[in-house]
Structure 1
Amino acid sequence: MKKILLLSMLVALTACSNQPNQLILNPVYKSGKVTSINANISTSVIDLRGDNVTLKIIESDKVKTLASPGLTESVKSTLDSALSRNGASISNLATTRFELDIHALQAIVTEKMMTHTSHANIELGIRVIRSNSNFSKVYRGSANLEGPLRHDRAKIESQLNKLTEQLITRIVSDPELIAYLEG
């Protein structure tokens, strides 16, 4: 019986330590129609972060970093969904370009003996470019999370996904941006 219990504990510990070395971000736009955007636009997302670290885990004297492959595609999908649900027509042939720059998108987790904290920080810049003018603005958001014991990667992913979705909702409902798009 002791051998079975010991073997079970060993398997459980091994499974916990074999998490993939990447963070899976997939924000989903859930806010529905919050405004009305009457514009034809082409969209792009550009990752301008200095490095591709999306999660930094600080544990006493060790620092572990994880990237999030496919981040720009995931954010673009969320942006396109938000714009479309709010009336914008997305087309690669549109003369108005809507560019979203990712300046910062990262969670820093600090692990202590019996607790952990996570601080997420996102900064997104937009540029809307027409043949004779352009509009730009920066949107920032942050969120904090605390919990007992070690962090749960799914909760950190959820924290970043929710914050990204909140910022994109703020972007598509920005009266200045809408006025420029329709002007």
Structure 2
Amino acid sequence: MKNYILPCCILLALGGCSSSQPNQLILNPVYQSGKVSSINQSLSTSVIDLRGDPATLKLIKSDKTQTIASQGITESIKSILDSALSRNGASISNLATTRFEVDIHTLQAVVTEQMVTHISNAKIELGVRVIRSSSNFSKIYRGNANLEGPLGHDRAKIEGQLNKLTEQLITRMVSDPELLAFLEG
């Protein structure tokens, strides 16, 4: 009997450790595309979270749905935006007369877990407004990414999926010919 108690205790302890994940998703996109355009402007940037649903991860299992938020989403998006604009020649200054505003409309991964597989559908929608004293520019940028894998989801892969999709949208933004033409004009 004693031979079974220790292995059972160890299994219970390890089982408790493996199932506990932090109750937030870490969004930390990094701009890696380098110089893709030439933005010779001084810009004041801001990011506003307009999402109706604050959950960054929606985990759907057969009988329940769990939602997980992310702290500091606006700061993460502003950081990658400022990095992308700076690497492409813009100077970021709170005193700039041209305002570059980004609204977060959607930023979420929906993960559906089944018995032997999981599917993650990530969607991001960012609205951009560039405001000058005499004119404005606005455009919506959307992106989707899908991920499928065996068994349960891996939180790090879902974070990576959202981070990569965010970087792709920001890169598309700073290389958009319409946006660049407005900034030059």
TM range (shorter): over 0.9
In 2: Cα distance, 1:41 partner to 1:160 partner:
26
Q: How does 1:33-112 map to 2 (within 5 A)?
A: 33-112=35-114
SS of the residue 1:19 aligns to: coil
Query: Could you tell me how far 1:61 is from its partner in structure 2?
Result: 1.5
Amino acid at match of 1:92: N
In 2: Cα distance, 1:98 partner to 1:137 partner:
12
Amino acid at match of 1:124: L
SS of the residue 1:138 aligns to: strand
In 1: Cα distance, 2:76 partner to 2:62 partner:
32
What is the match of residue 31 of structure 1? 33
Pick the aligned partner of 2:164 from 144, 162, 165.
162
In 1: Cα distance, 2:9 partner to 2:149 partner:
29
Aligned length: 183
Say whether 1:153 aligns with 2:155: yes
Between 1:14-23 and 1:126-135, the stretch displaced more is 14-23
- Flag as ranges the 4+ runs of structure 1 deviating above 4 A: none
Pick the aligned partner of 2:14 from 2, 12, 15.
12
In 2: Cα distance, 1:4 partner to 1:155 partner:
34
In 1: Cα distance, 2:143 partner to 2:164 partner:
11
Sequence identity (%): 73
SS of the residue 1:159 aligns to: helix
Amino acid at match of 2:111: V
TM score, norm. by length of structure 1: 0.97
SS of the residue 1:132 aligns to: coil
Say whether 1:138 aligns with 2:135: no
Larger Rg: 2
Between 1:10-19 and 1:113-122, the stretch displaced more is 10-19
In 2: Cα distance, 1:151 partner to 1:2 partner:
32
In 2: Cα distance, 1:72 partner to 1:103 partner:
12
In 1: Cα distance, 2:126 partner to 2:76 partner:
14
Amino acid at match of 1:37: I
Query: Could you tell me how far 1:18 is from its partner in structure 2?
Result: 1.7
Amino acid at match of 2:19: S
In 1: Cα distance, 2:165 partner to 2:25 partner:
15
Gaps of 5+ in 1: none
Q: Over residues 24-81 of structure 1, what are the superposed CA-to-partner deviations in whole Å (9 max), with x where a residue is unaligned?
A: 1100001111111111100000001002110000001100000001000001000000
Amino acid at match of 1:44: S
